């Protein structure tokens, strides 16, 4: 059977712990040792498979345990036995079955698109409206508490042709942030620099610290304060002449509407993991564009599988035009889980044109890094 009217007969999960190459500090938390993700495999009657990833971060979106059980216990019954073609109603039912858990729903939506694309011979970007770009500029984040190690990474990035970096700030003292910004300006002038506080600043000194950082004229400054502090975001935006981006403050279209209304940002980080589906991520990007705001493709601590979902989203969404940060697979995981490397050359992510997402996970790697599996696996 080669049509999408066939039913879904397989729903398998892997809970993975993926070793990483070093520590990373962000405003709201640290990652060290390994990151944990959930991989979902759907199978149709013909034996075709579709893959998706949930990549939560506990201090940002939620826990991997919540993603695993959302899929395993609450979403699975709404998927098995349904037609591949019924993606919209499957997603509606999953949304009603379990609140929040946007990463679990992102995994499901990704896998449904991958499966439909594999069966119909179309890339996911074609299912999402068509490809508007063949590659995406890559931004790599600098978040190592040991700046000497980030200097080594910068040298590697320079050699690889990467020309955008995002400095993670606000996790240590102000002088450390300014020292690194000065070093970037003096020693790495070929890089465009972005700054992301990941909510790390205390309300009382946020404005002063952001003003100091703005002196370095980064491309933008992202999420200096806690997500719910919309009034303070708006005040900071009014007080500095560098664009202010919202990340943690905007998960889905509902947040974007309020962000626009309250004037908290000049742009937004769009992530499938935050919005919970391609359609909702596209809605965020469309709302941003309609209000003259910028958008770029953010990521979580994720593997190449989630990068692929993000790459197809951006490939099919003209208004997400500030690049992407899908660097983990190549620059942060000790080993990625895809069968072939996530396509990233010369500082740009290349958009796969094969059916579905274009690359599948390697089953041996899934087994190797798996902590536990779903009930039906």
Residue numbers of the site for Mg ion (CB under 5 A)?
A: 196, 222, 247
In the bound state with Mg ion, the residue whose beta carbon lies nearer, of 219 and 222, is 222
In the bound state with Mg ion, the residue whose beta carbon lies nearer, of 95 and 247, is 247
In the bound state with Mg ion, the residue whose beta carbon lies nearer, of 49 and 249, is 249
Least spacing, CB of residue 142 vs Mg ion, in Å: 13
In the bound state with Mg ion, the residue whose beta carbon lies nearer, of 267 and 355, is 267
Q: Which of 228-251 are b and which e, b meaning 16 or more Cβ less than 10 Å from the residue's Cβ? A: ebbebbbbbbeebebbbbbbbbbb
Q: Which residue is nearest to Mg ion (CB)?
A: 247
* Dihedral sign, Cα of residue 125, residue 222, residue 62, residue 27: positive
Least spacing, CB of residue 298 vs Mg ion, in Å: 6
Token match 């980080």: residue?
Answer: 269
In the bound state with Mg ion, the residue whose beta carbon lies nearer, of 50 and 200, is 200
Least spacing, CB of residue 166 vs Mg ion, in Å: 8
Least spacing, CB of residue 172 vs Mg ion, in Å: 17
User: Residue 36 in contact with residue 16, Cβ under 8 Å?
Assistant: yes
> Encoding tokens for residue 267?
């742009």
In the bound state with Mg ion, the residue whose beta carbon lies nearer, of 53 and 196, is 196
In the bound state with Mg ion, the residue whose beta carbon lies nearer, of 48 and 222, is 222
Burial class (CB in 10 A: 0-12, 13-18, 19+), 202: exposed
Least spacing, CB of residue 162 vs Mg ion, in Å: 18
Least spacing, CB of residue 274 vs Mg ion, in Å: 10
In the bound state with Mg ion, the residue whose beta carbon lies nearer, of 177 and 222, is 222
Least spacing, CB of residue 218 vs Mg ion, in Å: 13
Least spacing, CB of residue 27 vs Mg ion, in Å: 9
């Amino acid at each position: 059977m080669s049509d999408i009217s066939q039913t879904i007969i397989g729903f398998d999960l892997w809970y993975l712990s993926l070793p990483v190459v070093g520590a990373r500090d962000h405003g709201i938390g640290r990652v060290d040792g390994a990151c944990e993700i959930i991989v979902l495999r759907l199978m149709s009657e013909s034996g075709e498979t579709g893959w998706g990833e949930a990549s939560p971060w506990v201090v940002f979106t939620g826990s991997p345990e919540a993603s695993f059980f959302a899929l395993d216990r609450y979403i699975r019954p709404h998927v098995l036995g349904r037609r591949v073609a019924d993606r919209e109603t499957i997603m509606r039912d999953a949304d009603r079955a379990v609140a929040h858990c946007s990463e679990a729903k992102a995994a499901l939506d990704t896998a449904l698109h991958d499966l439909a694309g594999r069966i119909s011979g179309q890339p996911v970007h074609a299912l999402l409206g068509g490809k508007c770009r063949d590659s995406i500029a890559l931004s790599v984040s600098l978040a190592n508490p040991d700046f000497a190690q980030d200097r080594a990474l910068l040298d590697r990035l320079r050699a690889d042709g990467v020309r955008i970096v995002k400095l993670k700030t606000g996790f240590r003292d102000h002088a450390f942030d300014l020292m690194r910004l000065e070093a970037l300006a003096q020693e790495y002038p070929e890089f465009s620099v972005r700054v992301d506080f990941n909510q790390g600043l205390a309300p009382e000194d946020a404005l002063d610290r952001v003003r100091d950082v703005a002196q370095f004229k980064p491309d933008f400054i992202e999420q200096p304060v806690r997500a719910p502090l919309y009034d303070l975001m708006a005040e900071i935006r009014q007080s500095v002449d560098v664009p202010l981006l919202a990340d943690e403050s905007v998960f889905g279209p509902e947040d974007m509407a309020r962000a626009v209304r309250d004037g908290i940002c000049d742009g937004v980080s769009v992530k499938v993991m935050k919005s919970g589906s391609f359609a909702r991520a596209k809605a965020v990007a469309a709302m941003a564009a309609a209000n003259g705001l910028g958008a770029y493709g953010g990521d979580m601590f994720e593997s190449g599988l989630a990068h692929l979902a993000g790459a197809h989203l951006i490939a099919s969404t003209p208004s997400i035009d500030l690049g992407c940060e899908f660097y983990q697979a190549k620059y942060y995981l000790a080993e990625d889980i895809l069968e072939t490397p996530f396509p990233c050359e010369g500082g740009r992510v290349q958009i796969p044109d094969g059916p579905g997402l274009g690359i599948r996970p390697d089953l041996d790697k899934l087994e190797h890094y798996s902590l536990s599996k779903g009930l039906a696996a």
